[in-house]
Amino acid sequence: MTAFGADSTTDDVLAGVDLSGKRILVTGGSAGLGVETVRALKARGATVVAAVRDLSKARRALGDAGAGEIDLVELDLASLASCRKAADALVANGAKFDVVIANAAVMACPFGKTADGFEMQFGTNHLGHFVFVNRLAPALNTPARIVILSSSGHRFADVDLDDPNFERTPYGEWAAYGRSKTANALFAVGLDKRLKGRGVRAAAVHPGGIMTELGRHLTPELIDQMTGGRGVSSFKFKTVPQGAATTVWAAIVAPGDDVGGRYCEDCGVAARTDDPTTRTGVRAYALDPAHADALWAKSEELVGERFTY
């Protein structure tokens, strides 16, 4: 298998790949990494469904990117009713998916709550996808792949299963983001454990630092917190095609046994590290199977729904 790395783009990773006959779903396909992911997959012949909150915005963005005609499904991850409605409609359609990419997210936003009363980042980034992806599982082919976008931001905080909504803990934008991104990584661990017996493998992905709409809430103070006071100039940003490369690598190119239940970055499987000074690698708590099971149980309790496989 060709070696790829931090500078690889979606077109590098998918060079020579024919996705004709493959059906792929991408959440958050109306901006940034989502648009590039949809474009790259569509360009290789895949049938792509984009699940988005704003249909008009998605049509404009995907049209500008040259993605052609894309099937759109309305999905607001901050509303469990919307997650259930979208997933159930896709399952009822009867067409199967070969890949599901949970790409959509919010980052470092002021304190807020979802329609169901959950802290906004945990509720949107994790619980919305938890319900949507699990309810979509009957529509997965065998084999299939699920990619959950996490982030190096998972190092900011482990999940807090005793106080997931900051009811007793002082709210911090990066702490909340870190919790949600750790939850994303643990969700991939939990999905892979439950679905690999039927040929479905799940992986978590850190795309890298990219200037997209995701950073709309960043203030100079938050940037200082993110960079340890070194400022944005100390940070090496990727282009959007480089940022989406690890997503398509984990979804299409990498062997399932290599990435199943793992955390990937720079088109490879990340090493575990507890070094607080490094921006690469994955913390052990984000891959712990028992921790993943505890989060799964807590997530089922919070959303009022059980998912068994």
10-residue stretch averages of pLDDT, the chain, 309 residues long: 88 98 96 95 96 94 82 97 98 97 93 98 98 98 97 95 97 96 98 98 93 53 53 68 97 98 98 88 98 98 96
- CA-based max dimension of the chain: 52
Cα radius of gyration (the chain): 18
Q: What is the pLDDT of residue 243?
A: 96
Is position 171 annotated as part of the catalytic site? no
Domain at 10-302, CATH class: alpha beta
Of residues 177, 263, 285, 309, which has the active-site annotation? 177
> Domain limits of the chain?
10-302
What is residue 212's predicted lDDT score, i.e. its pLDDT?
54
| pLDDT recorded at residue 230 | 54
pLDDT in the model for residue 211: 66
Q: What is the pLDDT of residue 151?
A: 95
Q: What is the pTM of this model?
A: 0.93
